[in-house]
Structure 1
Amino acid sequence: MTKYGLMASFKCSGSWRTGWCASASKSVLSNHALKSLAPTLCLAGVMTYALADELRNFVAGVFIPQYHFPYAVALCFAQVLITLLVLNLLHVLDVVPLKRYSRSLGEKVLVPSIGISTHAVLAMWAKANSSHISLFSLTQPLLPIATVAFSFCQKLASPPSLVVPISILSGTSLLVTACRGLSDVEPLEYMYAPLALILHSLSLTWLAKVSEAERRNSPDAQAS
């Protein structure tokens, strides 16, 4: 088989996988039984994410303050490189479809990229400077409520049935964190913790808005 034959067969297999994934997702969305289970699945996803985040915070709280790393920016940059490596590997395996970089798309995601990067540096700084419960831990449960608030401000379509469970989970997590008590809060945390919360929620909302605009301007959406 020639080189062009191999490339053609690889492209055909990739397009077949993409079409199969799209048809499978459409059939799942058209199933009324699964639609009724959507709030439960979303709630399970939120709880799984919360448990994974708690495990990550535990590991970071054990190792980062123990060695006193003063390299918050370098650690966050290493996280970015690892994330890019994993995403490109999944793209090569036709598991995750990625768009090619364009200048217009880069300009759209510039603001959320800066916001998420700044939040990551601030969060890493908080973990490196405190081995106990800090003001950052107290403000993190407010992220879903802040994200929903920003989504309403930017007029994003969000299911209203999930607002109440998100508020209940955020309030419960906030109360549990507050009941544990705060350790010695550094003066900079009073400024950095609310700033990190605002940047994180605004970046997530901005990314959702960009994704919705790209989906609306896609050739498939225009054809339908």
Structure 2
Amino acid sequence: MRASDIMTTSIITASPDMSVRQAAGTMVFAGISGMPVVDESGKLLGMITEGDLMHRAEIGTGVKQRAWWLELVASTSELATQYVKEHARKVRDVMTTDVTTITESCPVGDIAELLDRRHIKRVPVMRDGKVVGVVSRANLIRALVTMAPELPATAENGDHAIREDVLAAMAGQPWAMARENVIVENGTVHLWGPVVGADEGNAIRVTAENVAGVKDVVTHFGRPPSDSSLG
């Protein structure tokens, strides 16, 4: 799955000459937290987001008076930039210009990693220098719903096959369980064995839950398999 499969194509944009108040209203009424800023030809100039509008003089959210020593170490340029962010009336003066972009062929996994690494909530999708879509965290969540349906139990997945699949799924992991500690009965996986940490236990359980044909997973950590279960 790629950007073209999940991106929003009905894009709401801002112009650089739009007022900050109008930009804020557009985001509020459209239910979005950011939008691309483009010129008359459609060229991407920047992004205006909630983060750019957090510190504003009008609503008393500007940066508080700096400690005297911070005033000394902060450059004149930094202080001037902060003042503009707090008081400017046009989008062009408060927008973020260092914008990360992607193409339509960008894999979904790469997009998720990019959003996480850059600490951003959305990224414009470009084609021939123009914005053709936006991928947001919400788009990724919708993709998760599409890509991860419930795994149904199927008749061909007998208990023996399910057990082998569970063992194969854990193979090579440092928290993998020994073969004798994985028992399957009527599609329910029973996990036995020594006491394990909560994180390792969760990893073992999730591994089993993701195997096709598994109806349920029951953990018995800290207990040896009972004789009846071994039958």
Structure with the largest fraction of helix: 1
Tell me: higher relative CO, structure 1 or 2? Use CA pairs within 8 A at least 6 residues apart.
1
TM-score by length of 2: 0.23
Tell me which protein shows more strand as a share of its residues: 2
TM-score (norm 1): 0.24
